[in-house]
Structure 1
Amino acid sequence: ERICWGCDRYCPASAMGCGNGSSRTQHPIEIFGEDWADEPAWGLDETPAQPVEVRQPAP
């Protein structure tokens, strides 16, 4: 049994429910290698987002 990356259906390897039954969706690590997330072209930013101040409307 295999599972496609990002899918919660547990299909048998011989009868995939998606992709016309031909193959499963591979995780990027299987295609690009272990350092796939280090590629700058992905646009993954390691800098955490800055908190935004939420103001309440005046009564």
Structure 2
Amino acid sequence: MAKKIPLHPKHPERICWGCDRYCPAASLSCGNGSSRTQHPIELLGDDWLEHGDWGFEIEAEPATEVAEIAAVAAAN
């Protein structure tokens, strides 16, 4: 099973997103090693999920879940 791609990585420029290995940008171990594959957030911006059909279901990120729980707790 393939690794799940992080939706909003902190430093996408440090990793090659071309396969499931997620190699460091300076040490590519798959393919020809000539260049790294960028994360969609680098190409399309923070709203990259809104562009096209990526073929996977989006799960809530932990930070979002924590914010929702805090909002519910504050309302009670």
TM-score bracket for this pair, using the shorter chain length: 0.3 to 0.5
**Higher Cα Rg, which structure:** 1
Q: Structure 2-normalised TM-score?
A: 0.38
Q: Structure 1-normalised TM-score?
A: 0.45
| Higher percent of residues as helix | 2
